[in-house]
């Protein structure tokens, strides 16, 4: 197996500054094909900035980004290259309501993505693919005819996952993708994501501050604080035996069994 085949995503020496503020400082990691890694840290730690640089939504300030064996450090130079990069890496955001077109049905949204990336498909094949995507994420055909405002939060997030998968990417970035959901719905979506990873051999990069989510979905974790990696390793090792004081602080902040949130005044 060649290195390009073994590694799905690799960043090396990644950096980003905004004026005098260092958002990301010399971050390196890699994820094997079919693997799942978490970037963990509180708000402002640089996690989402890294995701945006990988996606090409932010220009890379320093270092390199390779995905699917190709260098994507610099901006895409053509429409075809942008389409190819989108077929390789997709992202699912925290708030599906703001990322879905409120005036477009879920089926039309999925159909548009399928046609963009698979232009040789017939209309019938495109409809079949949309039906397959809906079924893959646990949505019924009737959900395809709904607008986002007519769906629950969990259903909208499933639709957002289906949209990401419509491009048949090898890598999916999950940016706090279950943080806005109720705990019971969150568990269902996490189970769905784990199942899709097994079925499709897709690679996940999870952006999260929730250690319970990190434990359920990832193999490895990188802990960040103020743009710097403070600890990395297997998820079990990081969560069960954290070595860095900051990781220990995050671990100690997780509510224990029987914890009840304080009642609002």
169-215 confidence digits (pLDDT tens): 999 999 988 887 888 888 999 999 999 999 999 999 999 988 889 99
For residue 241, being part of any structural domain is answered with yes
pTM (2 d.p.): 0.91
What is the β-pairing status of strands 203-208 and 36-40? Answer: parallel
For residue 175, being part of any structural domain is answered with yes
Domain count, the chain: 1
For residue 157, being part of any structural domain is answered with no
Output the pLDDT for position 177: 87
For residue 247, being part of any structural domain is answered with yes
Give the orientation angle of helix 106-117 with respect to helix 79-88, to 10 degrees.
120
- Please give the Cα distance from 48 to 57 (Å, whole number): 11
Instruction: Compute the average pLDDT of residues 50-73.
Output: 96
For residue 108, being part of any structural domain is answered with no
For the stretch 130-161, pLDDT in tens is: 999 999 999 999 999 999 999 999 999 999 99
Structure tokens at 128: 């079949």
Instruction: Compute the average pLDDT of residues 37-66.
Output: 94
What is the β-pairing status of strands 89-92 and 171-175? Answer: parallel
Domain of 245, in residue numbers: 3-101+169-252
For residue 121, being part of any structural domain is answered with no
Name the pLDDT band for 106 (thresholds 50, 70, 90).
very high
For residue 142, being part of any structural domain is answered with no
> With contact defined as beta carbons under 8 Å apart, do 140 and 152 qualify?
no
pLDDT beyond 50 at 83? yes
Question: Residue 67 maps to which CATH number?
Answer: 3.40.50.300
For residue 112, being part of any structural domain is answered with no
CB atoms within 10 A of CB 225: 20
**Please, which residues have CB within 8 angstroms of residue 66's CB and are 6 or more apart in sequence?**
7, 9, 10, 11, 12, 72, 73
């Amino acid at each position: 197996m060649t290195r390009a085949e073994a590694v799905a995503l690799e960043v090396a020496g990644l950096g980003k500054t905004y004026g005098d503020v260092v958002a990301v400082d010399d971050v390196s990691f890699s994820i094997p094909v079919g693997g799942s890694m978490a970037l963990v840290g509180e708000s402002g730690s640089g996690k989402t900035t890294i995701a945006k640089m990988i996606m090409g939504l932010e220009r890379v300030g320093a270092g390199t980004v390779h995905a699917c064996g190709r260098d994507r450090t610099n901006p895409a130079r053509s429409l075809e290259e942008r389409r190819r990069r989108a077929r390789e890496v997709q992202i699912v955001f925290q708030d599906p309501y703001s990322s879905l077109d409120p005036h477009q049905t879920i089926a039309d949204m999925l159909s548009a993505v399928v046609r963009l990336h698979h232009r040789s498909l017939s209309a019938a094949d495109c409809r079949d693919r949309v039906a397959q995507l809906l079924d893959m994420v646990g949505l019924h055909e009737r959900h395809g005819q709904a607008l986002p405002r007519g769906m629950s939060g969990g259903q909208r997030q499933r639709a957002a996952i289906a949209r990401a998968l419509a491009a048949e990417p090898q890598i999916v970035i999950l940016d706090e993708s279950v943080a806005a959901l109720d705990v019971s719905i969150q568990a269902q979506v996490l189970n769905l994501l784990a199942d899709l990873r097994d079925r499709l051999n897709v690679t996940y990069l999870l952006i999260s501050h929730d250690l319970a989510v990190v434990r359920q979905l990832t193999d490895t974790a990188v802990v960040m604080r103020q743009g710097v990696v403070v600890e990395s390793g297997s998820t079990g090792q990081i969560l069960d035996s954290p070595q860095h004081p900051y990781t220990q602080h995050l671990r100690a902040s997780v509510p224990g069994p029987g914890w009840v949130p304080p009642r609002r005044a």
